Every structure is written in C-alpha cells, then in structure tokens.
Amino acid sequence: MHLNKEKSMTKTNVKITPANGKLGVLLPGMGAVATTFIAGVEAVKRGLANPVGSLTQMGQLRLGKRSENRSAMIKDFISLASLENLCFGGWDIFEDNVYEAASKAKVLEQTLLDQLKEPLSKIRPMSAVFDKSYITLIDGKNKKTGKTKKDLADQIREDIQRFKKENNCERLVIVWCASTERYTEQAACHESLAKFEKALLENDPMISPSQIYAYAALMERVPYANGSPNRSVECPALQELARELRVPISGSDFKTGQTLMKTVLAPGLKSRLLGLSGWYSTNILGNRDGEVLADPGSFKSKEVSKLSVLEQILEPETYPSLYGDVHHQVQINYYPPRGDNKEGWDNIDIFGWLGYPMQIKVNFLCRDSILAAPIVLDLALFMDLAQRTELFGIQEWLSFYFKSPLAAPGLKPEHDLQVQLLKLHNTLRFMGGEELINHLGLTYYGIVEE
C-alpha cells in the first residue's frame, strides 16, 4: 500500500486481504471484561441480544456528498471478520473456564450465562506469565515457570502457535484484558529492541509480564492491543519490533465510564471557550479490577492515564487564562457491594462571560464491563483489518477506544471523541476507496467547485 498518496488524494485504491477463515482472539486476562465480551458475542450469535455499543456491528458510515444520501453499515462496507468466524482463548492465573469466570464476575445475568454454558465452558485459560511485584493484591496457581523472561516469552509463543493450529485459525489478534500492573517509568531496557532482548535473557526486573506477552505476540506477527494503562507496547523497544515485523499495535487503557464522559464534555466546554477551574472525579467500584486498583502502584498507572486526558484536550499552554490553573483530581475507591456496577461522580467548576462561575455535576451509574466489551470486539476486528490492509506499528485511527491513545513520538495524541471518530471513519473511507470527508461543505453553496 502506498501511504504517501494519502496527502494528495481524496480517493484511494487500497488492497485489503479478505477476512477469510477463522480469526482467533486471544486475551491475556480472562476476568470481567474478557468474559463479558466472549459471552456477549456468543449471545449475539444466537440472537439473544444486540451488540449495543459496537461500531463494527451497528455503526453506519456516511459515504460521498451529503446530497447523495449514501451510507453503509461499517461491516458491509469493509471486509471484517464475522462473529461466526471468531474463536476465543486466553491466559489467566485462575483456572476457571469462561463460564465459571463469567459467573463469578457477576456482570451478566446467570440465566443468560446458563444458556451459553456449552460454548463458554469449553474455553479454559492457558497458564499465565505473572509477577507478584507488578500486581500485588491477587495471586493464583495457573502460572508458568521459566529460568529467564526469554523462556517465558518462548512459552507464550508456543501457546499462540498451538492455539492457532488446534483451532484451525487463519489469523490471530491479542487484546490485553488482564489486571492493571503497577506504574513504571521507561527504563534503559525499553529504549531499543536490542536492549530489550538482552534484558529478557538477563531477567531484568523492569520487564513486566504484559511486555512479555506483547513481545511474544509481535514475534508471532500477531496484532496487539493494550486495554489497561500499564506500560506494555508503550515503549520504543516494542514499537521498533512492531515496525520491523510490520505488526499493528494500539493502546492504552479502554476508554469507558468517567473518562468517556470527560472526552465528550471537555471538548464541548473548550469549543465554547468556557473556562475551567477544577474537575473533581471520584468513583466507587467493587469488582476485581477495583481490588487490584486499591494498590497504590496499580492505581498510579490508572491515575496517570486518567489525568493526562484533560490537559491534552484543553491545551493550557494555548489558553492560559481559561485552562492554565485547573485543579484536576481523580479517585477510585474499592467498594465491594457495587461489584462491576461502578458509580462515578464528577464536580466540574467552570466559568463563563466576565469570569462568572458555574458548576456541572455528573453522576454516572455505569457498568464497567458492559462498556468495555464492545471495545474489545471492535479492537479485535479493526486490528485484524489493519493487518490485512498492511498497516503496521501504531494504529492512531483507533485512538477512539483509548484513554491514553498511542501516537507517533513527538506527536500529541488526539483525545476529543468526535475528532477520534472522524479519524476512524475517514480511515475506513480511505481503506474502502471512498472520498474522505472534511466537512467544509462549501460545494453545496456554489462557492467552491467540486
């Protein structure tokens, strides 16, 4: 594919390998999000429910001029793997099969899970690469052992190869759905692929389990998306590997709940040049994710991801009088009675004309995994599409799904949900050989010629 044509052309002729055969979706971490995703797909396949929240299943794409009144379902417009062709697997430190894990997660009703018991019970997690120093508050028995981190990466590679063969898959994707690891700064071993590979052999403590999975995935040329905020493919070494082997990567941290609301509201306030003096966000959450996040190290990963959103949307350096002094605070409180049904409160102190203060209050009673499951589905299908389109390295067009979207070094990530959606839609139009839409609209008024 000739990406250099993008600038000068409004229409392209991109070659996409058809989505023939089975697509294996492998999930490190088979907890609430992963099992809600898998059970959801099985329910949709049987006509028991609708895939609400999924662009790949329900989204429409406008095509051509507004006067043409043309649009298509995304899944009809571009070649995507069908739900019937998906096949699931993964790794976890707990041995529960997906039916048992979903029942324990208590996100979906037991009556629905019981109807899906047969396919869900068949999916058993492979043994995990786990390191207590990265996730301190949980532990399980289903773990790999190895002399070096390189051995562990090789074992994950073998798992990937075996899964592909046994399930007769044409292609694979991996979406990290495991617990949030503790916050880490970039270390020397992350600076280049050569240093990373040396560090794997030397058991460098700065290489996390999630990076071992990511390395193994990339070595197997399997696209890798990171759903949690910890540093995984978010380092030069693994990005170098992704470019070298031409594998798509994306991350980090699924954009659901409170941050989704933030990336809807904050661009709206900024569009109208309303000032902001403070944004206080707090949550109660009672699932295992909440339990892991009760550890300050894991919470720090989440906090950094959640805090960066506002600053990058509001650009205080460009608008110092409106956004130069924002007090932004985020808290997550582990509160078991609520399970997966998180409640978030936001108090937003804004100011308007002549500096007069106003307040906005948001109380979002959401369901964490219900919001995350369609993201996992869309990422799996779009990452596979990226690979079949020969896009590789960072997939910025998938920023729509992430709290901390990956972008090329030196490039500010785009956080505004609507801009992210425009980018995603235009990328699909680009792949499908349709005209890109820039919303100028002057041709309708005879001011600019077509």
Ligand X SMILES: NC(=O)c1ccc[n+]([C@@H]2O[C@H](COP(=O)([O-])OP(=O)(O)OC[C@H]3O[C@@H](n4cnc5c(N)ncnc54)[C@H](O)[C@@H]3O)[C@@H](O)[C@H]2O)c1
Q: Which residues bind ligand X (CB under 6 A)?
A: 28-34, 91-94, 105, 128-130, 135, 138, 140, 177-180, 209, 227-228, 253-254, 256-257, 287-289, 292, 368-369, 371-372
Q: DSSP E strands: which ranges in 367-423?
A: 393-394
* CA–CA dist 327, 95 (Å, integer): 44
Residue 273 backbone class (left: φ over 0; alpha: ψ -120 to 50; beta: rest)? left
- Closest approach, Cβ 73 to ligand X, in A, equals 26
3-state secondary structure of 159: helix
Q: In this complex, which beta carbon is closest to ligand X, that of residue 85 or of residue 282?
A: 282
- Closest approach, Cβ 42 to ligand X, in A, equals 17
- Closest approach, Cβ 253 to ligand X, in A, equals 5
3-state secondary structure of 192: coil
Q: Which helix (H) or strand (E) holds 364?
A: strand 357-365
**What are 92's two structure tokens?**
């976890």
- Closest approach, Cβ 138 to ligand X, in A, equals 6
Q: How many CA atoms lie within 13 A of 20 on its CB side?
A: 3
- Closest approach, Cβ 291 to ligand X, in A, equals 7
Please classify residue 442 by burial: count the beta carbons closer than 10 Å to its beta carbon, then call 0-12 exposed, 13-18 middle and 19+ buried. exposed
* CA–CA dist 194, 183 (Å, integer): 23
Q: In this complex, which beta carbon is closest to ligand X, that of residue 32 or of residue 431?
A: 32
- Closest approach, Cβ 216 to ligand X, in A, equals 12
Q: In this complex, which beta carbon is closest to ligand X, that of residue 105 or of residue 431?
A: 105
**Helical packing angle, 368-388 and 32-45, nearest 10°:** 70
C-alpha 424: how far from its chain's center?
A: 14
* CA–CA dist 264, 399 (Å, integer): 14
Question: What's the Rg (C-alpha) of the chain?
Answer: 22
DSSP state of 127: E
Alpha helices in 59-147 (DSSP H): 74-77, 98-105, 110-115, 117-121
| Amino acid letter, 433 | G
Q: In this complex, which beta carbon is closest to ligand X, that of residue 63 or of residue 373?
A: 373
* CA–CA dist 236, 258 (Å, integer): 29
* CA–CA dist 318, 302 (Å, integer): 26
Q: Taking the alpha carbons of 56, 58, 59, 60 in that order, is the dihedral positive or negative?
A: positive
- Closest approach, Cβ 450 to ligand X, in A, equals 43
Q: In this complex, which beta carbon is closest to ligand X, that of residue 256 or of residue 426?
A: 256
Residue 305: asked if its preceding bond is cis (omega within 30°), the reply is no
* CA–CA dist 140, 65 (Å, integer): 56
The neighbouring-strand residues paired with 143 are 128
Q: In this complex, which beta carbon is closest to ligand X, that of residue 179 or of residue 239?
A: 179
Q: Which residue is nearest to ligand X (CB)?
A: 31
- Closest approach, Cβ 123 to ligand X, in A, equals 13
Q: In this complex, which beta carbon is closest to ligand X, that of residue 86 or of residue 129?
A: 129
Q: In this complex, which beta carbon is closest to ligand X, that of residue 128 or of residue 313?
A: 128
Look at residues 182, 209, 206 and name the one whose alpha carbon lies nearest to residue 297: 182
Q: In this complex, which beta carbon is closest to ligand X, that of residue 160 or of residue 177?
A: 177
Residue 67: asked if its preceding bond is cis (omega within 30°), the reply is no
Q: In this complex, which beta carbon is closest to ligand X, that of residue 29 or of residue 248?
A: 29
- Closest approach, Cβ 125 to ligand X, in A, equals 7
Q: In this complex, which beta carbon is closest to ligand X, that of residue 100 or of residue 191?
A: 100
- Closest approach, Cβ 131 to ligand X, in A, equals 7
- Tell me the CA distances in angstroms from 13 to 65, 80, 409, one per residue in order: 19, 17, 28
- Closest approach, Cβ 179 to ligand X, in A, equals 4
